[in-house]
Protein backbone atom coordinates (compact mmCIF):
# COMPACT_ATOMS: atom_id res chain seq x y z
CA UNK A 1 0.00 0.00 0.00
CA UNK A 2 1.09 3.56 -0.64
CA UNK A 3 2.83 5.24 2.27
CA UNK A 4 3.52 8.87 1.35
CA UNK A 5 0.85 11.47 0.59
CA UNK A 6 2.08 11.80 -2.98
CA UNK A 7 1.93 8.06 -3.55
CA UNK A 8 -1.62 7.91 -2.20
CA UNK A 9 -2.69 10.74 -4.48
CA UNK A 10 -1.03 9.08 -7.49
CA UNK A 11 -2.83 5.85 -6.67
CA UNK A 12 -6.21 7.63 -6.55
CA UNK A 13 -5.46 9.27 -9.91
CA UNK A 14 -4.47 5.96 -11.47
CA UNK A 15 -7.75 4.40 -10.33
CA UNK A 16 -9.68 7.25 -11.98
CA UNK A 17 -7.69 6.93 -15.20
CA UNK A 18 -8.16 3.17 -15.19
CA UNK A 19 -11.91 3.58 -15.60
CA UNK A 20 -11.47 5.72 -18.70
CA UNK A 21 -8.82 3.40 -20.16
CA UNK A 22 -11.01 0.33 -19.68
CA UNK A 23 -13.94 2.16 -21.30
CA UNK A 24 -11.80 3.18 -24.30
CA UNK A 25 -10.37 -0.30 -24.74
CA UNK A 26 -13.82 -1.89 -24.50
CA UNK A 27 -15.17 0.49 -27.13
CA UNK A 28 -12.25 -0.37 -29.40
CA UNK A 29 -12.71 -4.14 -29.05
CA UNK A 30 -16.47 -3.83 -29.60
CA UNK A 31 -15.93 -1.81 -32.78
CA UNK A 32 -13.45 -4.39 -34.10
CA UNK A 33 -15.84 -7.25 -33.29
CA UNK A 34 -18.72 -5.46 -35.01
CA UNK A 35 -16.60 -4.92 -38.12
CA UNK A 36 -15.51 -8.56 -38.19
CA UNK A 37 -19.12 -9.72 -37.79
CA UNK A 38 -20.11 -8.10 -41.10
CA UNK A 39 -18.90 -10.97 -43.30
CA UNK A 40 -21.10 -11.22 -46.37
CA UNK A 41 -22.72 -7.83 -45.86
CA UNK A 42 -22.68 -4.98 -48.35
CA UNK A 43 -19.55 -2.98 -49.07
CA UNK A 44 -21.07 0.19 -47.56
CA UNK A 45 -21.87 -1.53 -44.26
CA UNK A 46 -18.38 -2.97 -44.07
CA UNK A 47 -16.84 0.40 -44.94
CA UNK A 48 -18.75 2.27 -42.26
CA UNK A 49 -17.95 -0.38 -39.65
CA UNK A 50 -14.29 -0.29 -40.68
CA UNK A 51 -14.23 3.50 -40.34
CA UNK A 52 -15.81 3.25 -36.88
CA UNK A 53 -13.23 0.64 -35.83
CA UNK A 54 -10.38 2.80 -37.15
CA UNK A 55 -11.75 5.77 -35.21
CA UNK A 56 -11.91 3.74 -31.98
CA UNK A 57 -8.39 2.34 -32.50
CA UNK A 58 -6.97 5.80 -33.21
CA UNK A 59 -8.61 7.25 -30.08
CA UNK A 60 -7.17 4.43 -27.96
CA UNK A 61 -3.76 5.11 -29.52
CA UNK A 62 -4.00 8.86 -28.93
CA UNK A 63 -4.84 8.40 -25.25
CA UNK A 64 -2.07 5.85 -24.69
CA UNK A 65 -4.28 2.82 -24.12
CA UNK A 66 -2.46 0.89 -26.85
CA UNK A 67 0.88 1.46 -28.53
CA UNK A 68 1.51 2.72 -32.05
CA UNK A 69 2.52 -0.61 -33.58
CA UNK A 70 -0.38 -2.40 -31.88
CA UNK A 71 -2.81 0.07 -33.45
CA UNK A 72 -1.21 -0.35 -36.87
CA UNK A 73 -1.33 -4.12 -36.52
CA UNK A 74 -5.01 -4.12 -35.52
CA UNK A 75 -5.95 -1.89 -38.44
CA UNK A 76 -3.94 -3.93 -40.95
CA UNK A 77 -5.35 -7.25 -39.79
CA UNK A 78 -8.90 -5.92 -39.79
CA UNK A 79 -8.69 -4.49 -43.29
CA UNK A 80 -7.01 -7.67 -44.55
CA UNK A 81 -9.79 -9.76 -43.01
CA UNK A 82 -12.55 -7.68 -44.58
CA UNK A 83 -10.85 -7.68 -48.00
CA UNK A 84 -10.51 -11.44 -47.88
CA UNK A 85 -14.15 -11.91 -46.88
CA UNK A 86 -15.48 -9.67 -49.66
The set of residues, in sequence order, having a beta carbon less than 8 Å from that of 17 and lying 6+ positions away, is: none
pLDDT confidence of residue 42: 85
pLDDT value, residue 84: 86
Q: Tell me, letter by letter, the H, E, C secondary structure of the chain.
A: CCCCHHHHHHHHHHHHHHHHHHHHHHHHHHHHHHHHCCCCCCHHHHHHHHHHHHHHHHHHHHCCCCCHHHHHHHHHHHHHHHHHHC
Domains plus CATH for the chain?
A: 5-85 (1.20.58.110)
Q: Report the predicted TM-score, pTM, of the whole model to 2 decimal places.
A: 0.85
Each residue's pLDDT, cut to its tens digit, for the chain (86 residues) gives 778 999 999 999 999 999 999 999 999 999 999 999 988 788 888 989 999 999 999 999 999 999 999 999 999 999 999 888 76
Amino acid sequence: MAITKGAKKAHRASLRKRVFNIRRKRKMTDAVKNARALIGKTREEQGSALAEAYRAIDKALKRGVIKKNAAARKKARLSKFLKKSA
